[in-house]
Structure 1
């Protein structure tokens, strides 16, 4: 775990020990929280697993649901959350469960829990990935580096070989390559990824088929009364890096494809990656223009009455795989804490 996450863990411990979460939930004007989840897996991550941040255990997901209800926090759909935000007075606190990317493990491990607990949720779907033709580039570079003793990296036009024998060397290589790709235009990132994958015999299309549900599997969710299907673009590109027309098409086309597949146009949208580098005022306006009822980011914070007036940049709190301690659930459920953290780090 990095120094950054060690500091956050210390903060969580202090906040929990102080009893502050319960007090803030009573006194704060925050009405609720949207949780971000990605993968749900029982496996213990390897020592080198930079994407373990996106993974929680099934037992932790079930405990989160049970603990929220013990705290008298309602678990509601995205539609109901918008209704509660628009209400004149603050009512019972609530949480919305959201899952991004349509991973297969959501079907195997998450859906049985959600059904057993009768917990509504939203699943945001990137349609090209469901077609099996997208790139989960963040996982691909982890997989490749994990298998190699050294890799060739090209930075500023110069290629060098980097040792990746130890966990720390692998992590350093991952961080360098990850942020190199994050700063690139999407077409350049795709070209670099495909070149990198080809050099080490990594099949990106097979990876996509292995990790993401196909359309028949996704129908289990589309036919589930607890589930709201939301749009998550076509290719999972960072919209802020695209030309306007391409960004608009990524948003609109994803909704059209989901409408064609399931007979209902999605009312809710999630920005891929969802931070300030990935989505801003232009993208928020595009989501509004496209006719969605809401759009979610990954910027931390609670939900307040003001969000009912402009629900196209809704904050979310990540159920982070590095923080699967049961006592932290009380912290995660307190939107005001993350609103304050967002102001301090924004």
Structure 2
């Protein structure tokens, strides 16, 4: 675990020990919180698993839903969350559950738990992923680095060989390649990803088909009364890096594809990656123009009545795989607390 996450864990411990989550729930004007989830998997991550932040264990999800309701917090749909924000102060606090990317493990492990707790949720779908031709590049570079004692980095026609024998070397290599890809324009990132994966015989399409649900599997969610299907672009590109017309097409085409598949037109949207590098005022306005009722970021914070004025730039709190201790659920569900933490982070 990096120093950053070690510091966050220490902060969580201090907040829990001092009773701050309960105090914020009592005194804050926050009405609720949207939780971000990705994967739900049984197996504990390997020592080198930089994407473990995206996965939690089924038992932890089960406990989270139980604890949320024990705290007197309701689990509601995205549409009901908006209604509650418009309602009078003093109503019960709420949590909205959201899952990004349509991972197959959501079907095998998350859905039975959600049914057992009668918990509504939103599933945001990147349609190329479900077609089996998406590029889960963050997982690809982890898989390659995990399997190699050295990797070749390609830049400006030059090749640099980087040692990845030790755990520390693997982490350094991942961080270097990950952030290089995050900062590149999308066409350049795609070219770099193609070269890197080809050098190691890594099949991105096969990886996508193994990790992501196909359309028949996803139909089980689309027909589930607990599930709200949301859009998540076609290719999971960072929209802020795209020309405006391409960004608009990524958003609207994902809606059109889902409507063609299921006969329902998503009204809710999730920005891929969702941070300041990935979306901003231009994308928020696009979501408004395209008629989305809500659109969610990954900026941390709680929900307040004022968010009714900006429903296409909603904050979320990541149910992070590095923090699967039961006492941390009290911290995750305190929207006001995460609003303050978000301000400190900015």
TM-score (norm 2): 0.99
Once the two structures are TM-superposed, the CA of residue 181 in structure 1 deviates from its matched residue by 0.4
Deviation at 1:26, TM superposition (A): 1.1
CA contact (8 A) 2:154 2:196 kept: no
Structure 1 match to 2:228? 228
Cα distance in 1 for partners of 2:154, 2:132 equals 28
Partners of 1:97 and 1:121 within 8 A in 2: yes
SS in 1 for 2:35: strand
SS of corresponding position for 1:324:
coil
Equivalent residues in 2 for 1:63-74, closer than 5 Å:
63-74=63-74
- SS, match of residue 64 in structure 2: helix
Counterpart in 1 of 2:99? 99
Tell me the CA shift for residue 159 of structure 1: 1.8
In structure 2, the residue matched to 1:14 is 14
Deviations 1:35-69 (A, max 9, x none): 00000001010000000000000000010000000
Kept in 1: contact 2:259–2:265 (CA 8 A): yes
Query: Which residue of structure 1 aligns with residue 287 of structure 2?
Result: 287
**Alignment partner of 1:315: what SS?**
coil
1-structure distance, mates of 2:283, 2:223:
30
Find out whether 1:311 has 2:311 as its counterpart.
yes
Offset at residue 160 of structure 1 (A): 1.0
- CA distance in 1 between partners of 2:242 and 2:185 (Å): 7
How far the C-alpha of 1:156 sits from its partner, in A, is 5.1
In the alignment, the residues of structure 2 paired with residue 299 and residue 131 of structure 1 have an alpha-carbon distance, to the nearest angstrom, of: 29
Indicate the residue corresponding to 1:55 in structure 2.
Answer: 55
What secondary structure sits across from 1:320 in the alignment? coil
When the two structures are superposed, what TM-score results if normalisation uses the length of structure 1?
A: 0.99
Decide whether the 8 Å contact of 2:32 with 2:303 is kept in 1.
Answer: yes
CA–CA separation in structure 1 for the residues paired with 2:310 and 2:88: 16
Paired residue for 1:181?
181
Map of 2:331 onto structure 1: 331
CA distance in 2, matches of 1:102, 1:290: 23
Q: Cα distance, 1:191 vs. partner?
A: 1.0
Q: Which runs of 4+ in 1 moved over 4 A?
A: none
Contact 1:29–1:90 (8 Å) recurs in 2: no
Structure 1 gap segments, 5+ residues each:
none
What whole-Å deviation, never above 9, does each CA across 1:195-254 have from its counterpart, x for those lacking one? 111100100000000000000000010010000000000000000000000000000000
CA distance in 2, matches of 1:190, 1:265: 29
The number of aligned residues is 346
User: What secondary structure sits across from 2:161 in the alignment?
Assistant: strand
Please show how residues 32-181 of structure 1 align to structure 2 within 5 Å.
32-155=32-155, 157-181=157-181
Root-mean-square deviation (CA, aligned residues, Å) is: 0.8
Specify the alignment match of 1:300 in structure 2: 300
Provide the secondary structure at the position in 2 that maps to 1:205: helix
Contact 1:32 1:302 in 2 (8 A): yes
Mapped to 2, the partners of 1:101 and 1:90 lie a distance apart of: 34
How far apart are the structure 2 equivalents of 1:153 and 1:265? 42
Structure 2 spans left out of the alignment, 5+ residues: none
Contact 2:21 2:330 in 1 (8 A): yes
* CA deviation profile, 1:86-115 (whole Å, cap 9, x unmatched): 124241100000000000000000000001
Distance 1:89 1:337 in 2: 18
CA distance in 2 between partners of 1:122 and 1:53 (Å): 20
SS at match of 1:321: coil
